[in-house]
Amino acid sequence: MRIRLTDLADQAGTSISTVSRVINGKPGVAEDVRRRVLAAMDLLGYERPRAGRGRSAGLIGLVVPELSNPVFPAFAQAIESVLSRHGYTPVLCTQSPGGTTEDEYIDALLSHQVDGIVFVSGLHADTRADLGRYQRLTERGLPIVLVNGDAPAVDAPSVSPDDARAADLAVAHLAALGHRRIGLAVGPERFVPARRKLDGFVHALVQRGLSPDADEAATHVARSFFTVEGGRAAASELLATGHTAIVCASDIMALGAVTAARAAGLEVPADVSVVGYDDSPLVAYTDPPLTTVRQPVAAMSEAAVSALLAEIGGERVSRTELLLAPELVVRGSTGTARA
């Protein structure tokens, strides 16, 4: 179906004449209105005329993990949107097991003479990884920003969610529902976000009188992988030891936990409550809709790009890690504990 100017105007909430000015690159259109019109073109599949595309201010590398976890496409989309708003063209690099490595992507981005790189949940989040790859980039003067996993040894800005606070929010919610045996399903401890969630969880149990000390609280933790299968395995272990509620380190793990509960003949949330983490797209429509702790993806993306562009402009941004507050989103996978 042919897209008309009236369709674009309706989608953008503006006039046909304004749409025409944007398409033809004419002045006199407010920046926020111009962005709405361009977004309407993209949503309706209307190819932007060259006059409406603008000249790129430069290339920015965006390195993210595999896209099987919905939170990473969400990050990619949010960061790309902010970069585009500032006139930069993102170069998306996605990793997958057995595919192109982070180092190979770095070499490719350098060959394309990018102006900077944003790393999302990269090797900088792995405490066992060699940070030399990032140090070499900063030594050559290339601005980089690290998202989701602080690495103090790297001279670069970093942005992360407050993972310890996220665990505390989940435990507080479940405790308020009457749960006393609360478990944590988390990934390998060598990853910074996992370590922080584990520490926050242990502290929350002790602070709320659900565990006498940190050593005992740690016995309520099951470690696996950040996958559906990992969540299922960790949840099965926790359910076998009588836990009535499970905090998961990702929404993907939480879906595995729900599967484990059903395999054990339990109902969610009647018999066991499950809390995820991320608020990934579509988890509001799972069965049951998933209670989760929302990772502030939009705010983190805005902060990361802002820091990177400031560095590109010659400004030195603070090296103190910027922690952004998560938010509890209560849906149908949590309920009152059985008496």
Report the CATH number that the domain containing residue 41 is assigned in CATH: 1.10.260
Residue 268 dihedral angles phi and psi, to the nearest 5°: -110, 120
Residue 181 forms part of a structural domain: yes
Pair 120, 179 in one domain: no
Pair 238, 169 in one domain: yes
Residue 339 forms part of a structural domain: no
Question: 273 with 334: CB under 8 angstroms?
Answer: yes
Give me the domain span that covers residue 180.
Answer: 163-295
Pair 285, 172 in one domain: yes
Pair 67, 87 in one domain: yes
Pair 94, 153 in one domain: yes
Pair 32, 104 in one domain: no
Question: 333 with 269: CB under 8 angstroms?
Answer: yes
Pair 73, 153 in one domain: yes
Residue 333 forms part of a structural domain: no
Q: What is the pLDDT along the chain (339 residues), one digit of tens a residue?
A: 678 888 889 999 999 999 888 888 788 888 888 888 888 888 888 887 765 555 567 899 999 998 888 999 999 999 998 998 888 999 999 987 788 899 999 999 999 999 999 999 999 999 999 999 999 999 999 999 999 988 999 999 999 999 999 999 999 999 999 999 999 999 999 999 999 999 999 999 999 999 999 999 999 999 999 999 999 999 999 999 999 999 999 999 999 999 999 999 999 999 999 999 999 989 999 999 999 999 999 999 999 999 999 999 999 999 999 999 999 999 999 999 987
Pair 97, 191 in one domain: no
Question: 256 with 230: CB under 8 angstroms?
Answer: yes
Pair 177, 230 in one domain: yes
pTM of the model: 0.84
Q: In total, how many domains does the chain have?
A: 3
**197-177-203 Cα angle (round to 5):** 30
Pair 175, 128 in one domain: no
Residue 331 forms part of a structural domain: no
Pair 287, 318 in one domain: no
How far is Cα 35 from Cα 306, in angstroms, rounded to an integer? 18
Pair 184, 303 in one domain: no
**DSSP 3-state of 5:** helix
Q: Which DSSP category does 273 fall into?
A: E
Report the CATH number that the domain containing residue 239 is assigned in CATH: 3.40.50.2300
